[in-house]
Chains A and B, each alone.
Chain A
Amino acid sequence: MLKIENLHVKVDGKEILKGLTLAVPTGEVHAVMGPNGSGKSTLANVLAGRPGYEITAGSVTFQGRDLLALAPEERAREGVFLGFQYPVEIPGVNNVYLLKAAVNAARKHRGLDEVDAFEFLTLVREKMRLMSMEESMLSRGVNEGFSGGEKKRNEVLQMLVLEPRLAILDETDSGLDIDALKVVANGVNTLRSPERSLVLVTHYQRLLDYIVPDHVHVLVKGRIARSGDKSLALELERRGYDWVTGEAA
């Protein structure tokens, strides 16, 4: 599904990713963990195509295609989804408009007709119930006045409606209390399937209690310093990041 090889990325002239290599096969859930400043968010943003990141070396292929050659909207239509760490508020752009426009953009790309308005709303309502979201949030501006937890739920809702092939969730767990975390994890878990891959970017092991990854990678100073199964996350939790950063240094 996703293959990152020797990726080097600069932000404002400073190298953040320094030769990152990572492969996420179809149907797997990978967690990318790491201390602050290790380059986790840079990785997520580069994959989604946010401007301002200079790729100096390496490659990223998504389903055999050069992902970095695609514009952000093309990546989305091909099935790449980024769950934002800090979802932006867009007052005046209605949540449901955005959802529908996003779904239709992807459908058009695949040569399909626009989604039926009634079926679409039925689907959205069902997913909202799953995310314990009030229906009134649909008619509000995108994330407008939402609490931190509501914003994260809205990200997952969008993901559930868009049904991406590859979802990258950037610290979707940060700022969530335990109940909200369970709701979000439950939502993400419904999307697990043999055709889909997930990348969970997180600082804490906590999320992985609810979304159990197939593989765990530790990102340190712009490189994968260690990979393992879910027990690696537990060990990190116990020993702290110093354990790997010390080794990596």
Chain B
Amino acid sequence: MTTAASKRVLDEYAAIRASLPAGVVSPERRQEAVQALAACGLPSTRDENWRYTNLRPLERARFAPVAVSPGSATDGTAASATPARLDGFARYTFVDGVFAPELSSPAELAGLTVCSLRRTTQDSSDHSGSGSATVFQLPRALPALSSLPEARLALLNDAFATDTAAIHVAGAAAQTARVELVFIALASADTGSIYPRVQVSLDPAGRLVLVERHVSAGAATHFINSSVNVDVGRGAHLTHYRLQRAGARATWVDTLSAVLAADARYGLLAVNTGGLSARSTTHVQMAGPGAELTLSVAALGDRQQVQDNFALVEHIAPRARTEQTFRGIASGRARVAFNGKIVVREGAAGTDSRQSLRGLLSGPEAEIDVRPQLEIYTDEVRCSHGATAGKLDDNMLFYLLSRGLSPEVAQRLLKWAFLEDVVAKIEIPELRRQIEHDLAGQMADAASWKELL
């Protein structure tokens, strides 16, 4: 990527640094991030793990965050984009990267703290005495800035972040905490970037189900750069659903970094259907013995969409287990990629890692790239991986036609079935229905499809 863009990052940062909220990311860390980025540069398609991404939007991007307009959350546009509520979930909504209390429905639960770092730190510093402000202390410090070349775009988020959804679950509680984060993009890309930011930490034995949604209101182009840090303590369980449904003209880049302690369990399920150019980077460190990760990703691309997914799972501690499932469908002229790298470090004996990556081509001009990468530096591991990219099975198709289904319905049904390996893992029936509905909407142009649901 051009040094011009890197220079722009420096210039834009210098121009607005004073206005960035110090309670969200400290000025020192912001500075450090900008410098790190200047040193390594923005990614380019010459970088091995960026070759499937559409990086052109970075050349034109305005990196400074969009200005927060006070009424933006209440003028109705954002509200119209909010998805249906999920029973039993506390909801926290962020509009253009800043907490919008008007669109949120918090809930009190012993052991659970959720807050906007922008608000909390403002409230505690101005002593407004409203009484509602919880002085929030991060239980753990943010992890050091990632030096991972694939996680580079998170440095931009570190530098420019406008708010953080901070979630903390104290140890064993009677109830599993349920939290939904909704990030709504409103502002157009020519006014700046949008920086959703999440920090989740579970103390030992904590339980949390987290639903994280990214949607757009209106049809503007957005430049969304989200960053999520996850810390799952010893024996804690986190189930995390991530639904990326940014607008059809949005550029969406995303970096998730997670660290799993001993016997921690992390179920991460992502459904990526939105954006014109989307790139999702996931980096999970199996840092404690016996940790378990289930990483499931479904991605749909149509028209000119690019859906690029990169996942790096590092097995550091022994006896950890990873199960990785990817199902991607590329239609039209879309490109859908999943690059799944598993590294088993020395000392990670007893690692059990399974990877099943499958892509489906649904159009003569579509592109699927599935790429398993395995690096093993120890003995006594069990690693299996399968990667396929292909078209719909002719035998299956003919079977359905021979039962009277039209070719269009038969194809949709088979695409549906293809995604089922991921969709079936959604354990919240209501959420599953919503996602099925979205997927159906994405794949269907005829009403006949919905009869099948």
User: A residues bordering B, Cβ < 8 Å?
Assistant: 48-51, 71-73, 75-77, 81-82, 84, 87-88, 90-93, 97-98, 101-102, 104-106, 109, 114, 141-142, 158, 162
> Which residues of the partner chain A approach B404 to less than 8 Å between Cβ atoms?
73, 76-77, 101-102, 105-106, 109, 162
What mask results when residues 409 to 427 of chain B are scored 1 for a CB within 8 Å of chain A, else 0? 1100110111111001000
Complexed CA–CA distance, A231 and B417 (Å): 47
For the complex, what is the distance from the CA of A102 to the CA of B421, rounded to whole Å? 24
Closest 9 CB pairs of A and B: A92-B417, A92-B420, A76-B404, A105-B404, A102-B403, A72-B401, A93-B417, A73-B401, A88-B395
B: interface residue count bin: 20 to 34
Q: Is the CB of B398 within 8 A of A50?
A: yes
List 8 interface pairs A-B (beta carbons < 8 Å), by A numbering.
Answer: A49-B401, A50-B398, A87-B399, A92-B421, A93-B416, A98-B413, A101-B413, A109-B404
- Contacts A73-B404, A102-B404 given; indicate if A91 touches B399 (C-beta within 8 A): no
Nearest opposing residue in chain A for B401, CB measure: A72
A90:B401 contact, CB within 8 angstroms: no
- How far is A106 from B402 in the complex, measured between Cα atoms in Å? 11
A47 CB, nearest partner CB in chain B, Å? 10
Least Cβ–Cβ distance between A79 and chain B, in angstroms: 10
Nearest A residue to B421 by beta-carbon distance? A92
With a CB–CB cut-off of 8 A, which chain B residues contact A106? Answer: 404
Residues of chain A lying within 8 A (CB to CB) of residue B421: 92
B402 to A92, Cβ gap below 8 A? no
| B contact set with A: CB distance below 8 Å | 393-396, 398-407, 409-410, 413-414, 416-421, 424, 451-452
Q: How far is the CA of A216 from the CA of B420 in the complex (A)?
A: 45
Complex contacts, B424 vs chain A, CB 8 Å? 92
A72-B398 contact, Cβ under 8 Å, with A90-B417, A91-B420, A102-B405? yes
Residues of chain A within 8 A of B400, CB atoms compared: 90, 93, 98
Question: Which residues of A have CB within 8 Å of B398?
Answer: 50-51, 72
B407 and A101 contact, CB distance less than 8 A: no
Q: Which residue of A lies closest to B394 (CB)?
A: A51
Are A90 and B402 interface neighbours, CB within 8 A? no
Question: Is the CB–CB distance between B399 and A88 below 8 Å?
Answer: yes
Q: A77 CA to B404 CA in the complex, in Å?
A: 5
